[in-house]
Amino acid sequence: METKPTYNRGLVLAVMLIAAIAGALMQTSLGTALPTLMKAFDIDLSTAQQATTWFLLANGMMVPLSAYLAKKVKTKTLHVVAYIMLLAGVLISMFTPENADSWWIFVAGRILAAIAVGIMMPLLQIVIVNMYGQKERGAAMGMMGLVVGMAPAIGPTLTGWILDKDHSFLGLTLSAHWQSIFVIPAIILAIAVVLAPIMMKNVVPNQEVSLDILSLVLSTVGFGFFLWGFTNVATAGWGDFGEVIAPIIVGVAFLLVFVWRQLKLDVPFLDVRVFKVKSFTIPTIALILAMMAMFGVEMMLPTYLQNVRGMSALHSGLTLMWGALFMGFLSPVAGVLYNKFGVKLLSFVGFGLLFVGTLPYIFLTAETPTIIVTVLYAIRMAGVALTLMPLTTAAMSALPDEKASDATAANNTLRQVSTSIVVALMTSVVQNIINNQTPGKALKLSDPIAYASKVLNASLDGFRAAFAISLAFAVIGFVITFFIKNQKEAK
């Protein structure tokens, strides 16, 4: 019989979710602001993208360390430190002077924020597993899905709204300036920093574990080079040995040594043995495919709306807002449905909706009605909502609670790497098709109308190919669902 803790679990979860909102916003909200940052700092696109690239790299490298920190450091202390680090990172980027020489300060703030998010997000899952019993865990994971899924989805729209014109927020004036995009996350984090020392509790049992420095170095270098290689694909191309192929090879080599060392250690830095449990590994693979299918369209669709349809960043974000709201609404519901029907049925329905919502995207044209794009996106996000948290809960429930930190770190590491890969893959596919099909400048001079038409068709072909890849992820995920054990939360 499960014993409920003496502290208020709802308050602990509330504090973590408040901070997670800001952390999730910082992960995806910057993309819409890149043109504004380029102009403000007088930098080119490749330089501006460093703000995203280094955030991704730092966040990915921190994930394996989260398991060790969760075991070694008290829960309350770890949360307070992470919230303060994230707030500091936000403020550093926010108050960076506007000139090219100061851009490294902006990036440094992003790196600090990424380190904090790399601690916070895995720890959120670990705390939920330790705080809630089998009967209640699905609903708690659903609430986490509301933040993890919805906040990144609305981030680009929120940024576009802020940059569109001056606004008023909580009595403050948000000017249409890049610094304003950090105001709301900073306010949310300030609230979390004040509440955490009062409401947070030491939920995760601490252990006397030592830090294996060699494992830390191997994982940091391995994941760093691996992700760095894939993030360079968009600018350097798949054939570039120095910037793409070599870093990936080096990363894989270090990661193989890392895995080998973990299997030899009595107390591993990251217990990769969790993947020997099929009821953990199979839902995790399905989860990765759902994430890749989601990011494949979520990343490319706003670019299609802006580049092909000529929409502003704000209006392209608003077009997708209903999908974000739909996902936010269904994520907690998915937790309840998981308790009632189990993960297998929800995964079938979820991947089925992903397939139905993605298939028409490979036939998009420059004249496709916006309402169709919006409805299809909402269907896709409903499918994502019905798969992410149930699959995560099923994977975590397959292992003993004492393995929660290792399982969470392994789960999040694969998710981080997979989303990095799909971003690089989609970008490179679209760019390569556009480059190969764009006519020469001679046609532009002799027949500008024909040139513009061919460029538009090249862009459409690129986006359709990317959407087809996302469709493939959904199909493979649906097939993997057949191998998932039809488990439900214990009653």
- Asked whether residue 74 falls in the same domain as residue 156, the answer is yes
- CA 63, 69, 71, 76 dihedral sign is negative
Question: Using CA atoms, how far apart are residues 108 and 144, in angstroms rounded to an integer?
Answer: 28
- Asked whether residue 216 falls in the same domain as residue 192, the answer is no
Q: Where are the alpha helices (DSSP H) in 232-342?
A: 233-236, 246-264, 278-307, 313-319, 321-341
Question: Using CA atoms, how far apart are residues 149 and 146, in angstroms rounded to an integer?
Answer: 6
Mean pLDDT, residues 264-277 taken together? 83
Predicted confidence at residue 398, as pLDDT, reads 81
Question: Using CA atoms, how far apart are residues 150 and 334, in angstroms rounded to an integer?
Answer: 14
- Asked whether residue 142 falls in the same domain as residue 62, the answer is yes
Residue 311 backbone phi and psi in degrees, to 5:
-80, 155
Question: Using CA atoms, how far apart are residues 415 and 72, in angstroms rounded to an integer?
Answer: 24
**308 is a domain residue:** yes
- Asked whether residue 19 falls in the same domain as residue 69, the answer is yes
**400 is a domain residue:** yes
Mean pLDDT, residues 309-330 taken together? 77
> At 63, which helix (H) or strand (E)?
helix 50-72
Of 485 and 40, the structure prediction assigns the larger pLDDT to 40
User: Among the three residues 268, 284, 314, which one is the final residue of a domain in this structure?
Assistant: 268
Question: Using CA atoms, how far apart are residues 46 and 232, in angstroms rounded to an integer?
Answer: 10
**1 is a domain residue:** no
**207 is a domain residue:** no
Predicted confidence at residue 213, as pLDDT, reads 87
Predicted confidence at residue 389, as pLDDT, reads 79
- Asked whether residue 351 falls in the same domain as residue 475, the answer is yes
Domain count, the chain: 3
User: Among the three residues 228, 246, 268, which one is the final residue of a domain in this structure?
Assistant: 268
- Asked whether residue 224 falls in the same domain as residue 331, the answer is no
- Number of alpha helices (DSSP H) and beta strands (DSSP E) in the chain: 19, 2
**2 is a domain residue:** no
Question: Using CA atoms, how far apart are residues 227 and 418, in angstroms rounded to an integer?
Answer: 10
Range of the domain at 474: 274-491
Predicted confidence at residue 174, as pLDDT, reads 67
Of 28 and 459, the structure prediction assigns the larger pLDDT to 459
- Asked whether residue 226 falls in the same domain as residue 130, the answer is no
User: Among the three residues 226, 244, 268, which one is the final residue of a domain in this structure?
Assistant: 268
Where is average pLDDT lowest: 87-91, 92-96, 303-307? Answer: 303-307
Across-strand partners of 172?
Answer: 169
**109 is a domain residue:** yes
Mean pLDDT, residues 198-215 taken together? 82
Question: Using CA atoms, how far apart are residues 211 and 450, in angstroms rounded to an integer?
Answer: 63
pLDDT class of 235 with cuts at 50, 70, 90? low
Which CATH number is 373's domain given?
Answer: 1.20.1250.20
Global confidence as pTM: 0.74
Question: Using CA atoms, how far apart are residues 258 and 253, in angstroms rounded to an integer?
Answer: 9
Nearest of 151, 124, 131 to residue 27 by alpha carbon = 151
- Asked whether residue 328 falls in the same domain as residue 466, the answer is yes
- Asked whether residue 293 falls in the same domain as residue 194, the answer is no
Of 285 and 68, the structure prediction assigns the larger pLDDT to 285
